[in-house]
């Protein structure tokens, strides 16, 4: 499987994808600038892969910073412990951070790299499907605020992304499903052929067939890299990557960070976006039904959490990052395989969609 490149001029970087990537020091070390390396990981991943990664780094001065596991810890307080570790070890501007873990670790290590001494370099080593296909690529970093997800952060591109599909062997089923939600998203927003492939191969993916996983991860990263290269800082087209995320973030914020996995919230959110797109006449009820079936085959939720009301959604969605001059913007489907970002939708249909979904 050839490597991919995220094409951003002098900030371009490679994505290595395959079985055994993490056994190959020659892929990793060219992207480390100087002697100091700080591996940021969490309590779950450290016992599994920290020593393996360290064994590739014998020629470097390596420290590790082990964070508690979970979205509930993706905040400024935990971030400060990363700075504590870097300063206690006297890491300077030439240090390279390596994020070893899922999306939470990647987002926090990346944001720490963006801010430490006003910016140091970092490498993503994502260990979940979700982080491999989504959060490790594209340079979005940050932490949550009690009033909104990912509200504090920076655009900070990594030097490289190293995806070893072997690590997925230890991924819990629930996390696999959550990652597949983002994979399905790429088909929906910009890759109808891939969406068809997913409908045919979802069972293989859920059975962790290696070839199918490598293909799906590679194709997802390729789709994402293309969008990011067009619009690094989300001035326009990049926002389509957030299909289902406005609804999904509202769910995550409402239930408390970590209660629902990000991918689970996105799955339910994509159904809501599809339902609204259907009400607006862009896609058919059959297509919404097909999406729900696909998500169910991936063991993903297709409804918001019990008890969550339309008011809950609207209140949290009002601070969404896509809101401009108080107008809510949403990612909707123009057709299956093509998404648009728009504030030009019938607000009544949004209300009806929320009412329908919240009373199921």
Beta strand 330-335 pairing with 338-342: antiparallel
Q: Are 107 and 70 in contact (CB under 8 A)?
A: no
* Contact with a second copy (CB under 8 A) among 52, 54, 145, 204: 145
Element (H, E) at 153: strand 148-155
Q: Is 355 in the site for a second copy (CB under 8 A)?
A: no
Q: Is 10 in the site for a second copy (CB under 8 A)?
A: no
The region of 97-105, 115-123, 182-190, 294-302 touching a second copy under the rule CB under 8 A is 115-123
Q: Are 110 and 99 in contact (CB under 8 A)?
A: yes
Contact string (CB under 8 A) for a second copy, positions 13-52, x = contact: ---------------------xx-----------------
Contact string (CB under 8 A) for a second copy, positions 281-320, x = contact: -------------------------------------xx-
Instruction: Tokens for 245, please give them.
Output: 């995320």
Q: How far apart are CA 35 and CA 37, in angstroms?
A: 7
- For residue 41, with 0-12 CB atoms within 10 Å meaning exposed, 13-18 middle and 19 or more buried, which class applies? buried
* Contact with a second copy (CB under 8 A) among 1, 8, 237, 323: 323
- Shortest gap between Cβ of 61 and a second copy (angstroms)? 9
Could you tell me how many residues make up the chain?
Answer: 360
Q: Is 87 in the site for a second copy (CB under 8 A)?
A: yes
Nearer to a second copy, 88 or 284 (CB): 88
* Contact with a second copy (CB under 8 A) among 58, 324, 359, 360: 324
Q: Are 26 and 17 in contact (CB under 8 A)?
A: no
Name the DSSP class of 2.
P
Nearest to 217 by CA among 243, 197, 235, 236: 197
* Contact with a second copy (CB under 8 A) among 325, 348, 359, 360: 325
Indicate which residues carry an active-site annotation. 118, 140, 182, 224, 234, 238, 242, 245, 249, 262
Q: How far apart are CA 270 and CA 266, in angstroms?
A: 6
Q: Is 94 in the site for a second copy (CB under 8 A)?
A: yes
Give the Cβ contact number of residue 190 at 10 Å.
20
Binding footprint of a second copy, residue count (CB under 8 A): 38
- The footprint of a second copy (CB under 8 A) covers 34-35, 76, 79-80, 83-84, 87-88, 90, 92-94, 114-119, 140, 142, 145, 147-148, 150-155, 233, 318-319, 321, 323-326
């Amino acid at each position: 499987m050839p490597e991919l490149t995220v094409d951003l001029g002098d900030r371009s970087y490679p994505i290595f994808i395959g079985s055994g990537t993490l056994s190959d020091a020659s892929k990793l070390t060219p992207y480390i600038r100087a002697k100091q390396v700080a591996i940021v990981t969490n309590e779950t991943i450290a016992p599994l892969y920290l020593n393996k990664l360290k064994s590739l780094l014998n020629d470097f001065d390596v420290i590790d910073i082990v964070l508690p596991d979970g979205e509930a810890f993706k905040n400024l307080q935990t971030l400060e412990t990363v700075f504590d570790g870097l300063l206690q070890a006297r890491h300077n501007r030439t240090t390279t951070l390596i994020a070893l873990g899922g999306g939470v670790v990647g987002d926090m290590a990346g944001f720490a790299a963006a801010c430490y001494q006003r910016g140091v370099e970092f490498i993503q080593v994502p260990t979940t499907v979700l982080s491999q296909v989504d959060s490790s690529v594209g340079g979005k970093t940050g932490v949550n605020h009690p009033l909104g997800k990912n509200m504090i952060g920076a655009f900070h591109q990594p030097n490289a992304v190293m995806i070893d599909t072997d690590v997925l062997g230890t991924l819990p089923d629930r996390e696999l499903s959550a990652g597949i939600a983002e994979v399905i998203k790429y088909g929906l927003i910009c890759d109808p052929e891939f969406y068809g492939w997913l409908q045919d191969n979802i069972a293989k993916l859920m059975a962790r067939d290696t070839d199918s996983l490598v293909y799906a991860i590679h194709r997802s990263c390729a789709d994402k890299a293309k969008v990011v290269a067009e619009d690094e800082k989300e001035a326009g087209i990049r926002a389509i990557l957030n299909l289902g995320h406005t609804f999904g973030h509202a769910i995550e914020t409402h239930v408390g960070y970590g209660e629902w996995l990000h991918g689970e919230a996105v799955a339910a959110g994509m159904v809501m976006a599809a339902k609204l797109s259907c009400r607006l006449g862009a896609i058919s009820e059959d297509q919404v039904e097909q999406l729900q079936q696909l998500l169910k085959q991936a063991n993903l939720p297709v409804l918001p959490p019990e008890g969550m009301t339309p008011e809950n959604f609207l209140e949290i969605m009002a601070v969404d990052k896509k809101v401009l001059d108080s107008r809510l913007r949403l990612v909707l489907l123009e057709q299956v395989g093509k998404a648009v970002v728009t504030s030009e939708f019938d607000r009544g249909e949004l209300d009806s969609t929320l009412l329908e979904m919240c009373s199921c």
